[in-house]
Structure 1
Amino acid sequence: MELFEGTRFVFRTGIRASCRPTVEGLENFPRSGPVIVAPNHLSFLDSVIVQALMPRKVAFFAKSEYFTARGPKGAVMRWFFNSVGSIPVERGEQAAGVAALQTALEILERDQAFGIYPEGTRSRNGLLYRGRTGVGWLALTTGAPVVPVGLIGTERLQPADRNMIKPQHFTLRVGAPLYFEKTGPDHSLPARRAATDKIMDAIADLTGQQRAGTYNQSRQAG
């Protein structure tokens, strides 16, 4: 915890000094117990921002290549993601995805906060894509409250396909927690879909993004 708090302080101070973000709704974040944090996704830096600015440690999945990248940027990424307890996960493998959700379940069972992007991958055109149902599965299986988070303008910090980070003002909005009845893992796909759609509606209310109506696809998916 001390390592996380030190890292969070460093990044929070740097983000606030360089970007002067507008941060709203932190009082909505539960101060104890399991929490599922569900942001929209516009930038590589979104996880850094959420982990730095939230009142509690939030563990995110992170692509395994973030832990193996070379050079100064790679070293900084490894240090940050390791220090805040991010979880490396392989992309595009169903078995890896199932194992990752099991890891998320274990984090929530320890009364900790876990962050998941319902869109799966970042939006490169600013649209809010349909949520994948992993977040609904977690919510129904655990009964943990889901805190929707709206990020506005983070794509300007590091545009897609650019290596340079340019400080820019952005907005982070934390919505009121959403509560779902705990059913355990035995729930229907329609129930999971309905929970996910409710979460995406809350994110849309926070961001004002236009809805795509389809799933987002990673560039690897073609």
Structure 2
Amino acid sequence: MFYWVLKFVLVGPILRMFFRPDVQGLENIPSRGPAILASNHLSFSDSVFLALMVSRRVTFLAKSEYFTGKGFKGLLSRWFFRGAGQVPIDRASGTAAQDALDTGTRILREGKLLGIYPEGTRSPDGRLYRGKTGLARMSLESGAVVVPLVMIDTEKIQPIGKKIPRIYKVRIRIGVPLDFSRYDGMSGDRFVERSMTDEVMYELMLLSGQQYVDLYAAKVKVAMDDTGASADEVVRMLKPSPLEVAERVPATLAG
């Protein structure tokens, strides 16, 4: 109930008035049944604008820190994120990855929309980074289609490290659903799951116009913290050669 109050009364009207979201492709989101909304990730505000513009309720998996803060700020954070349809995941747990997969699959089997950021974290520099295969596993285990979509210019509203948002027009582009039923029964095949994930990332690249980097964003961020180098410098240091990529991910011919 509170989700809809936030969307249509408390938060939604204000965001629509100031940020004037422009959305193309809403008809590509199924009106019923499970679907994974796979998006690039540029800003903390991505989940807010995506949930605002989609008519169906969207559930996201969020880090548990948003739900465990202390004092009034922690209370406000819990209040907002629970109301916004976020489900807490303890990323520090040794079973965090499996917990996220299990929770996401359960949500999809209930026929709901699940919002996922395949990159696993916000882009450190506006480029599109390698996707994690969890979305492929959840799609295979639940039978959900994957809807690729991209957020454009949200990083200009609240850049990483900035607490006060700026007014900037938001754009969302939603692509045609990807049907991976040709891989039915192949959950757990890492090459199939990598192939599916790469197909999703390719669609995100086409929709957004972002440059693609074949590295995990989280790995780049760790290296940035350790070395003090920029994202571009780290990417040049870590980026695998074409031969290494070919050896790491063999061609998948299934389907």
1:61 correspondence with 2:25: no
Q: Which residue of 1 aligns with 2:140?
A: 140
Q: Which residue of 2 aligns with 1:162?
A: 162
1:40 correspondence with 2:59: no
TM (normalized to structure 1)? 0.92
Higher RCO (CA < 8 A, seq sep 6+): 1
Contact 1:142 1:183 in 2 (8 A): no
Q: How far does the alpha carbon of each residue in 1:170-207 deviate from its partner, in whole angstroms, 9 at most, with x for none?
A: 21111111111163574411100111011111111111
3-state SS, counterpart of residue 124 of structure 1:
coil
Contact 2:124 2:217 in 1 (8 A): no
Q: Which residue of 1 aligns with 2:217?
A: 216
1:197 correspondence with 2:210: no
Q: How far does the alpha carbon of each residue in 1:59-89 deviate from its partner, in whole angstroms, 9 at most, with x for none?
A: 1111111123356654443222111331111
Q: 1:11 to 1:176 in 2, by over 3 A?
A: farther
3-state SS, counterpart of residue 148 of structure 2:
strand
Q: Which residue of 1 aligns with 2:5?
A: 6
2:99 maps to a residue whose letter is A
Q: 1:76 to 1:45 in 2, by over 3 A?
A: farther
For 1:205 and 1:62, the matched residues in 2 are separated by 26
Structure 1: 5+ residue stretches without partners: none
1:83 correspondence with 2:83: yes
3-state SS, counterpart of residue 149 of structure 1:
strand
Q: How far does the alpha carbon of each residue in 1:6-61 deviate from its partner, in whole angstroms, 9 at most, with x for none?
A: 22213322221111121111111101000111010000111111112111111111
Task: Give me the CA root mean square deviation.
Answer: 1.9
1:27 maps to a residue whose letter is E
1:12 maps to a residue whose letter is G
Shift of 1:93: 3.9
For 1:177 and 1:95, the matched residues in 2 are separated by 30
Q: Which residue of 2 aligns with 1:106?
A: 106
Q: 1:68 to 1:155 in 2, by over 3 A?
A: same
For 2:16 and 2:132, the matched residues in 1 are separated by 31
For 1:200 and 1:186, the matched residues in 2 are separated by 19
Contact 1:46 1:154 in 2 (8 A): yes
Contact 1:141 1:185 in 2 (8 A): no
Of 184-193 and 44-53, more deviation after overlay is shown by 184-193
2:50 maps to a residue whose letter is V
For 1:132 and 1:123, the matched residues in 2 are separated by 14
1:4 maps to a residue whose letter is Y
Structure 2: 5+ residue stretches without partners: 227-255
Q: Which residue of 1 aligns with 2:179?
A: 179
Contact 1:108 1:144 in 2 (8 A): yes
Q: How far does the alpha carbon of each residue in 1:87-136 deviate from its partner, in whole angstroms, 9 at most, with x for none?
A: 11122544112012101111111101111110000002001001110011
For 1:71 and 1:160, the matched residues in 2 are separated by 24
Contact 1:7 1:83 in 2 (8 A): yes
Q: Which residue of 2 aligns with 1:19?
A: 19
Contact 2:186 2:192 in 1 (8 A): no
For 1:86 and 1:115, the matched residues in 2 are separated by 10
Of 124-133 and 13-22, more deviation after overlay is shown by 13-22
3-state SS, counterpart of residue 27 of structure 1:
helix
Larger radius of gyration: 2
Contact 1:137 1:185 in 2 (8 A): no
Q: Percent identity?
A: 41
For 1:73 and 1:203, the matched residues in 2 are separated by 35
Contact 2:187 2:193 in 1 (8 A): no
For 1:154 and 1:27, the matched residues in 2 are separated by 22
